[in-house]
Amino acid sequence: MKTDVVIIGAGPAGLMLGHLLHQAGIGIVILERKSAAHVLSRIRAGVLEQVTVDLIDQLGLGDRMHKEGLPHDGFFLADGARLIHINMTELAGHNVMIYGQTEVTRDLMDACDARGVDVIYEAEDVSLHDVNSDTPSVTYRKNGVEHRLNARFIAGCDGFHGPSRQVIPASVGKAYERVYPFGWLGILADVPPCHEELIYANHANGFALASMRSKTRARYYIQVPLTERVEDWPDDRLWDELALRLGPETAEHMTRGPALEKSIAPLRSFVFEPMRYGSLFLAGDSAHIVPPTGAKGLNLASSDVAYLSKALIQFFKKGLSEGIDTYSQTALARVWKSERFSWTLTTLMHRFPNEGEFGRRVQIAELDYIAGSRAAQTTIAENYIGLPL
Ligand code: FAS
Ligand code: PHB
């Protein structure tokens, strides 16, 4: 089979890129290792920057998002004694949209069927060939039958554990990484959220986040040591710890209920350079990972796709290579600024085992400064709503 672009991975990056290229009349095939149901079963991001909202609107797929999504003008930082409001709309001129990644993925998947976007699920042993040439190809097995897809370009949207990044030679690629000494234990429950907006709390016991998926479905997280397992945290123990870390004022409004989902995600900061090698482009988690504190993971996948789709459309429709030649440096400039913000907020809001009491007092002092500084709050607001493309 021959096509213009083979996209590996049907997560948000792969599906958004596939739709944007298909909409421009460029031939694409998306290869996904898992079933559609498995992809939808992953509970991940909850906050959409305007860049993600705009892409979904550009595809004409925003109806449900605008109907069911929750626009939020601000969020809170809590230090155990008070709630510090960061009013993004007032300080930085924009809000964010609360709409789960699962719902974004569902909308994109449903539209693939309706628009004839070619997605092959349960594609096994996806392998990339001749990526440093103008005639790359991808092989895979489906229902026991081997297939080969010849293409002009390959887009590696296969996440942190996918094969695309691995084919870039060690002499060409370089990884930058910081692994955090803790993870996030998340719980999803069909109970009303404890507050209208998100609350990020730094408590002596550790970080906690009160988020949501809708006015009837809450999403919470607490920082846990990497040695913890989900079975160590029965619902009651988790609800008790959340009430403690979020503080008595917030806990009063917390409604408990059975976990629909409970999982522990490790935290890391990771960037791989370059994001292009020959005819292979990386986009989304295949190239970078951020700790979810800044709600940037999904939104960085969106900005990569915004840059890459424009560059590929320029190549196929106008024969111009400037976009694809500058994609890596353009995307990485925004990636690193989001990495910086995510690392900064993670460092401010989590308890680090070797930081001791001095580190804790410095965190409390910084939160105290933020509480009284419009400039500090504006910096946080600008980064949280997402820097311009
Ligand atoms: P994805 O990982 O979503 O998608 C990659 C796809 O490629 C997957 O469907 C995978 O099955 C497929 N794939 C992998 N190997 C393949 C192969 N060999 N062949 C074919 N297909 C293959 N971000 C936030 O902003 N907030 C959060 O709270 C948050 N929580 C997260 C929790 C967890 C546990 C994880 C892992 C990530 C979280 N993220 C969060 C980040 C997450 O939302 C990602 O940024 C987002 O999914 C990025 O989308 P993609 O780049 O499409 O990668
Ligand atoms: C979520 O609702 O899953 C969420 C929200 C904000 C974050 C991380 C996760 O920073």
274 preceded by cis ω (within 30°)?
yes
Same-domain status, 251 and 113 = no
Same-domain status, 275 and 336 = yes
Distant-in-sequence, close-in-space partners of 180: CB < 8 Å, separation ≥ 6: 266, 267, 268, 269, 291, 346, 350
Same-domain status, 272 and 260 = no
Nearest CA to ligand 1 atom 47: 298
Give me the CATH number covering residue 187.
3.30.9.10
Distance CA 25, CA 316 (A): 9
Residue 78 lies in a domain: no
Q: Copy the structure tokens of residue 373.
A: 């500084």
Residue 210 lies in a domain: yes
**Residue 14 predicted with pLDDT over 90:** yes
Q: Global pTM?
A: 0.96
Measured in Å, how far apart are the chain's first and last C-alpha atoms?
35
Same-domain status, 115 and 250 = no
Please compute the mean of the pLDDT values over residues 112-131 and round it to a whole number. Answer: 97
Give me the CATH number covering residue 23.
3.50.50.60
Residue 48 CA, ligand 2 centroid: distance in Å: 10
Tell me what pLDDT residue 81 has: 83
Please compute the mean of the pLDDT values over residues 188-204 and round it to a whole number. Answer: 97
Contact 300, 268 (CB under 8 A): no
Distance CA 41, CA 55 (A): 23
Nearest CA to ligand 1 atom 35: 44
Distant-in-sequence, close-in-space partners of 303: CB < 8 Å, separation ≥ 6: 51, 331, 334, 386, 389
Distance CA 114, CA 275 (A): 31
Same-domain status, 256 and 378 = yes
Please compute the mean of the pLDDT values over residues 299-319 and round it to a whole number. Answer: 98
Tell me what pLDDT residue 179 has: 97
Residue 84 lies in a domain: no
Q: Copy the structure tokens of residue 324.
A: 């694809």
Residue 138 CA, ligand 1 centroid: distance in Å: 21
Please compute the mean of the pLDDT values over residues 20-31 and round it to a whole number. Answer: 98
- The atom number, within ligand 2, closest to the CA of 43 reads 3
Tell me what pLDDT residue 80 has: 81
Find out whether the beta carbon of 165 lies less than 6 Å from any atom of ligand 1.
Answer: no
CA–CA distances in Å: residue 122 to residues 9, 31, 157? 11, 8, 15
Per this entry, what is the length of the chain? Answer: 389
Please compute the mean of the pLDDT values over residues 279-300 and round it to a whole number. Answer: 98
**Average pLDDT, whole number, for the chain?**
97
Same-domain status, 295 and 329 = yes
Please compute the mean of the pLDDT values over residues 145-173 and round it to a whole number. Answer: 98
Same-domain status, 235 and 185 = yes
Distant-in-sequence, close-in-space partners of 288: CB < 8 Å, separation ≥ 6: 270, 271, 272, 300, 335, 339
Find out whether the beta carbon of 39 lies less than 6 Å from any atom of ligand 1.
Answer: yes
Nearest to 112 by CA among 42, 40, 165: 40
339-382 residue pLDDT tens: 999 999 999 999 999 898 999 999 999 999 999 999 999 999 99
% of the chain residues with pLDDT over 70: 100
Same-domain status, 210 and 242 = yes
75-117 residue pLDDT tens: 999 998 899 999 999 999 999 999 999 999 999 999 999 999 9
Nearest CA to ligand 2 atom 1: 46
Nearest CA to ligand 2 atom 2: 46
Distance CA 338, CA 299 (A): 10
Pocket perturbation via mutation, ligand 2, pick of 52, 76, 202, 211 by most ligand atoms within 8 A of CB: 211
Pocket of ligand 2 (CB under 6 A): 45-47, 198, 211, 219, 292-293, 295
CA–CA distances in Å: residue 200 to residues 67, 82, 85, 127, 348? 26, 12, 10, 41, 10
Distance CA 98, CA 131 (A): 38
Burial of 41 (0-12, 13-18, 19+ CB in 10 A): exposed
Q: 49: domain range?
A: 5-70+97-177+267-346
Distance CA 96, CA 88 (A): 8
CA–CA distances in Å: residue 227 to residues 52, 202, 224? 34, 21, 8
The pLDDT confidence band at residue 260, using thresholds 50, 70 and 90, is very high
CA 328 to chain centroid, in Å, comes to 19
**Residue 261 predicted with pLDDT over 90:** yes
Start-end of H helices in the chain? 12-23, 36-41, 50-58, 63-68, 88-92, 101-115, 235-246, 248-251, 297-318, 322-349, 356-372, 374-385
Tell me what pLDDT residue 215 has: 95
Residue 171 lies in a domain: yes
Residue 76 lies in a domain: no
Distant-in-sequence, close-in-space partners of 192: CB < 8 Å, separation ≥ 6: 215, 216, 218, 255
Residue 193 lies in a domain: yes
**Residue 249 — φ and ψ, nearest 5°?**
-60, -45
Nearest CA to ligand 1 atom 34: 265
Same-domain status, 210 and 326 = no
Same-domain status, 169 and 47 = yes
Same-domain status, 334 and 215 = no
Burial of 155 (0-12, 13-18, 19+ CB in 10 A): buried
The pLDDT confidence band at residue 31, using thresholds 50, 70 and 90, is very high
**Active-site amino acid positions:** 72, 200, 292, 296, 384
Tell me what pLDDT residue 126 has: 98
Residue 249 lies in a domain: yes
Domain count, the chain: 2
Pocket perturbation via mutation, ligand 1, pick of 30, 53, 101, 305 by most ligand atoms within 8 A of CB: 101
Residue 75 lies in a domain: no
Pocket perturbation via mutation, ligand 2, pick of 42, 43, 44, 47 by most ligand atoms within 8 A of CB: 47
Same-domain status, 160 and 51 = yes
% of the chain residues with pLDDT over 90: 97
3-class secondary-structure state, position 129 = strand
Q: Copy the structure tokens of residue 250.
A: 């917030």
**Which ligand minimizes its atom distance to the CA of 48?**
1
Distance CA 372, CA 158 (A): 43
